[in-house]
Structure 1
């Protein structure tokens, strides 16, 4: 029996390796059965109740609406057995966390130019989201991905929220060390909250450290 026949597959996609697993999803590198030269990311959403199923469906609907060249592209989605599956554009160089150390090794002027290009692309992605009435709500290096040519894609829209009849969201989610102060004092998130998080990411890219690095969350 060939290795391909023994491979784990979801519909027409064969798993090549596992990337990781978290509370919200599991991700795999996959290839399409009829196009073995093209790689994708398979995201399998974890769910334990109807609310989490609704969240997964909302994420899929939002990604279908996004048309920016700087957001991760949704190729397709489907149900495999009981799994909610999303096939996504593959970003060969991983996430921005992998790039931070490498950027610090560049001469200052070259590093600033690289970060400027990343900022421009992330700003265009964020502007596109906001023009659709969507907040990302979890911008951080781990949720921005890098293509082979160095261009970036904003991704992981599992916590994104569409604003309906208001300019802010009252449900507080995301990663605390990238959240704006008003998220905790006013208990709301808006477009400026996303922009603040983007600023934190840019600072890290330029300096290699978080601007409010501390030994504990309370100290931060």
Structure 2
């Protein structure tokens, strides 16, 4: 399974309506098909600053295909490829958490709990498969009219095979973990740091590492992140629960190995789901949109696979997972159209 790849310009099938965002990796537009249905078209050039980034683009495509059917991740409907670029056709949602906070201010604590819980369930799905997102921030969490979230932009995602991956600094510095900024080994804990920052911002509308929002120099923000310098002194925290602060403190820890894992975060009293006032022993699995899976995705859906054996070597099951993630979508359609 996986989104089809079509070797033709996406404009053969879609009409451009408006530009949504433009960044280092490409441009995102709202487009419509011939029936008037809206989608988001993300176009990424294969070469940027003289470097071929096809491997990075295909990693993003693979991550989205692995997440096919996950209810809190945007759907990848199709990929259009020309000699110059790739265009992903994705779900279109008009708003994101950054826009919501900028427009309406700090969110109600109960809503933040639900958002962070859903984000953690999504990360559990990814982390169980050794996939890290590495660019978690409010702008990359879309939200619909029913206040349901959808994670997007897997452009920096990686499959961790030995937790010795390193990453260049990119994106918004306030949400990067200290190890990302200092080019240190990455792990699933890098995503967990970002969850802590997101929770802080949704509850207060300010950054923990640039609280004055005064346009401080990038290196000053980086130093604050590296030194884990933050507090809850702003007046916006006076009405927030002690549990919310405790949750953030379990994540904004300099040493990655000391941060709460996704399972530990889901079990935190602030987040843990309750039934009749009693905390549930384990959170329910994330709801899936699709019931039928390919053999590869059925394998990836196994919740009981061991990543390594007692010697630390990747287990056979883990190797199969990595092989499945590495498969490109099998359905490739060539068009007579020229780019």
Shift of 1:9: 6.1
2:166 is the alignment partner of 1:170: yes
Asked whether the 8 Å contact 2:10–2:87 carries over to 1, the reply is: no
- Following superposition, the deviation at residue 150 of structure 1 comes to 1.1
Greater Cα radius of gyration, structure 1 or 2: 2
C-alpha deviation, 1:183, in angstroms? 3.6
Q: Indicate the residue corresponding to 1:44 in structure 2.
A: 43
Paired residue for 2:254? none
For the pair 1:197 / 2:199, whether they are aligned, the reply is no
Provide Cα deviations, 1:179-201, integer angstroms capped at 9, x if missing partner.
22244457121111101101101
Alpha-carbon distance between aligned partners in 2 of 1:30 and 1:204, rounded to the nearest angstrom: 31
- 1:143-198 deviation line (CA, Å, top 9, x unaligned): 1111222111111000001112x135223444322122244457121111101101
Task: Note the residue ranges of structure 1 that are not aligned, 5 or more in a row.
Answer: 1-7
Q: Match for 2:178 among 170, 174, 181?
A: 181
Match of 2:87 in 1: 85
Cα-to-partner distance string for 1:102-143 (whole Å, 9 max, x where unaligned): 45366xxxx001111111111111111112211101111111
178-187 or 52-61: bigger deviation: 178-187
Structure ranking higher on relative contact order (CA contacts 8 Å, 6+ apart) = 2
Contact in 1 for aligned 2:167/2:183 (Cα 8 Å): no
Give secondary structure in 1 for the equivalent of 2:197.
helix
Q: 2:77 aligns with which of 59, 75, 78?
A: 75
> Matched residues in 1 for 2:155 and 2:149: separation?
18
2:181 and 2:15 map into 1 onto residues whose CA distance is 43
Q: Do the aligned partners of residues 182 and 60 (structure 1) sit closer, same or farther apart at CA in structure 2, a change above 3 Å counting?
A: closer
Using the TM superposition, give the Cα deviation of residue 83 of structure 1 relative to its aligned residue in structure 2, in angstroms. Answer: 2.8
Q: Which runs of 5+ in 2 are unaligned?
A: 1-8, 222-339
Paired with 2:82 and 2:116, the residues of 1 have a C-alpha distance of: 37
Alpha carbon RMSD of aligned pairs, Å?
2.2
TM-score norm. by structure 2 comes to 0.56
- 1:61-81 deviations in whole A, cap 9, x for unaligned? 211111321111111112146
Q: Larger strand proportion, structure 1 or 2? A: 1
Pairwise CA distance, 1:60: 0.9
4+ long deviations beyond 4 Å: none
**Which residue number in structure 2 is paired with residue 21 of structure 1?**
22
2-structure distance, mates of 1:15, 1:185: 40
Give the conservation status (yes or no) of the 8 Å contact 1:168–1:188.
yes
| Gap change, CA 1:205 and 1:15, over 3 Å in 2 | same
Q: Deviations over 1:9-55 (max 9, x none)?
A: 6131111112122220111111111x21x210001112315631221
Q: Which residue, out of 138, 145, 161, partners 1:148?
A: 145
Specify whether residues 105 and 134 from structure 1 end up closer, same or farther in structure 2 by C-alpha distance, changes over 3 A only.
closer
Partner in structure 2 of residue 3 of structure 1 = none
Could you say if the C-alpha distance between residues 57 and 186 of structure 1 is closer, same or farther in structure 2, counting changes exceeding 3 Å?
closer
2:256 is matched with none
- Work out whether residues 96 and 140 of structure 2, in 8 Å CA contact, stay in contact via their aligned partners in 1: yes
